[in-house]
Amino acid sequence: MKGMPNRALIRTLAGALTALALSGALSGCKKTANAGPYLCTDKDYAAYIRQSSDFTEDEGDRLVRVKTETPIEKAFFDKPYNADWLASVAHSSILDTIAYIETTGARVYKSGAVSKQSATPMASARKMPGDIDREWQKAVSGTGGPSCGILTGLYLVPNTRDNIPSLRGRGAIVVREDTTRWTLVHEFMHHNFKTQAAVIDGYDDEKSRKAWMSLTDQVTTLKRIKPSAISDADYVKRLSGLFQQLIDVVDTTVIQYQMEEIAVEGLLQDKYETGELTYVSRGAYANASRYIDQKKKDVEDLYATLTNTYDEINRLALTNATKDNGLMDEWHKNQRYPEMRDHRLDQMHDAIAKRKKFEFNGHGNGTSLGFAAQLPDDAPETAIAPCADAEALDAAIAAISSTMRAPRAGE
């Protein structure tokens, strides 16, 4: 085929999927200036240990179960959540927060402390059963372990898979024994968002996994077809069709994963600044700004990779188009991508701009980032963890990434 670098295109598509797979970040570490490993220093661990003793498990106001007539509100990116759930735990102790969460369709489990020197404010959480522990270990191994990061919290959505019976009909939150209430509420907000997404928007993680697997199978089938058995034009059209499916999956996934992290941290910062969220670590509040900025970069990198793929498919379609082979039709179909991309990026940039305009009570700087700058630079990032059954999604993405990298039959 004239001007058809199949392997280069496959690598580009694989890059887009890999960016999704790696979007679950690490907690407690700072990233090096360039793309590379996350590094934890002694100061990072010292700051994490200090934060573990900010509040004891019973420190807080009496739990108030808030019930209003219209509890559903919209957060950043128009994500619906139950404001009563968050208001009920806004000023409560860790003990009461855990008890309340377990009335909303999720159980709270504990994992081991990062350090023996830490306080253990989450010690009252449940001991993990074997199936939840396996999911936690997969998530920990996915972050590279404590030499690369500190995984402090994990949320797993309810599902019906036979190999995780503890998730039948209820979600699960796992937190380290020595993490802070900010992390606990962070993971609770993932449960809150995912619950409302399922009820209001019909979002279903099971369907998302099946969509990834279906896409993997279709790519595998296409790659196995010998060049003599398929025309170049048909190959480009089918590859273009897979890209169109990919951008639909990304459009859903980016809101449920990467942008949800921004929504959670931004909402919690808003509540902290107005006094509507208390008994949480001041350092965790400040570090949320770092995390929001990191997620912003992740989303921008993801769309940059997709844009490269879009440009490449357009070039191939135009290069190989004839009057009758239909490649111009494929070109026209792909023109919806820039609008989808720009809509999501505009949403994200608008949300972050609003977040930075919020004034912190008692500080005249006018921005959360300005307030964060007043705090020690060695405070760790908090609650940066794979969430919403991320390991299963990552496995599906890894499978299709591997498929995309494989050469076409006959090459």
Dihedral pair phi/psi, residue 74, rounded to 5°: -110, 135
Residue in 400, 185, 159, 174 with CA at minimum distance from that of residue 284: 185
Given a cut of 60, is residue 311 above it in pLDDT? Answer: yes
pLDDT of residue 320: 86
Percentage of the chain with pLDDT > 70?
72
Q: Which two tokens stand for residue 325?
A: 């082979």
pLDDT of residue 63: 92
Burial class of 158 by CB neighbour count within 10 A (0 to 12, 13 to 18, 19+): buried
Please indicate whether residue 68 or residue 243 has the higher confidence score (pLDDT). 68
pLDDT of residue 151: 78
pLDDT of residue 60: 96
221 — pLDDT class (breaks 50, 70, 90): confident
Given a cut of 70, is residue 111 above it in pLDDT? Answer: yes
The answer to the question of residue 171 being in a domain is: yes
Given a cut of 80, is residue 100 above it in pLDDT? Answer: yes
Decide the pairing of beta strands 80-82 and 38-39: unpaired
Cα(318)–Cα(346) distance, integer angstroms: 29
- SS3 (DSSP) at 107: strand
The answer to the question of residue 1 being in a domain is: no
Q: Which domain holds residue 72?
A: 6-403
Number of neighbours of residue 248 by Cβ within 10 angstroms: 13
- DSSP classification of residue 240: H
Burial class of 406 by CB neighbour count within 10 A (0 to 12, 13 to 18, 19+): middle
- CB burial readout 363-402, b (16+ within 10 A) else e: eeeebbeebbeeeeebbbbbbbbbbbbbbbbbebbbbbbe
Average pLDDT, the chain: 76
153 — pLDDT class (breaks 50, 70, 90): confident
Please indicate whether residue 400 or residue 224 has the higher confidence score (pLDDT). 224
Q: Which two tokens stand for residue 85?
A: 């759930």
Given a cut of 50, is residue 316 above it in pLDDT? Answer: yes
187 — pLDDT class (breaks 50, 70, 90): very high
Q: What is the pLDDT of residues 267-285, one digit of tens each?
A: 998 999 889 999 998 878 8
Which range among 98-102, 245-249, 288-292, 401-405 shows the weakest confidence by mean pLDDT?
A: 401-405
Compute the average pLDDT of residues 117-135.
95
The answer to the question of residue 411 being in a domain is: no
Decide the pairing of beta strands 38-39 and 72-74: unpaired
The answer to the question of residue 189 being in a domain is: yes
Q: Which two tokens stand for residue 76?
A: 């950043």
Cα(147)–Cα(118) distance, integer angstroms: 18
The answer to the question of residue 330 being in a domain is: yes
The answer to the question of residue 198 being in a domain is: yes
388 — pLDDT class (breaks 50, 70, 90): very low
Could you tell me where the beta strands, DSSP code E, fall in 162-242?
171-176
Report angle CA 71, 76, 80 to the nearest 5 degrees. 30
pLDDT of residue 394: 45
Please indicate whether residue 121 or residue 396 has the higher confidence score (pLDDT). 121
Compute the average pLDDT of residues 371-380.
46
Given a cut of 50, is residue 9 above it in pLDDT? Answer: no
Domain count across the chain: 1
- DSSP classification of residue 387: B
41 — pLDDT class (breaks 50, 70, 90): low
The answer to the question of residue 409 being in a domain is: no
Please indicate whether residue 271 or residue 231 has the higher confidence score (pLDDT). 271
Number of neighbours of residue 74 by Cβ within 10 angstroms: 12
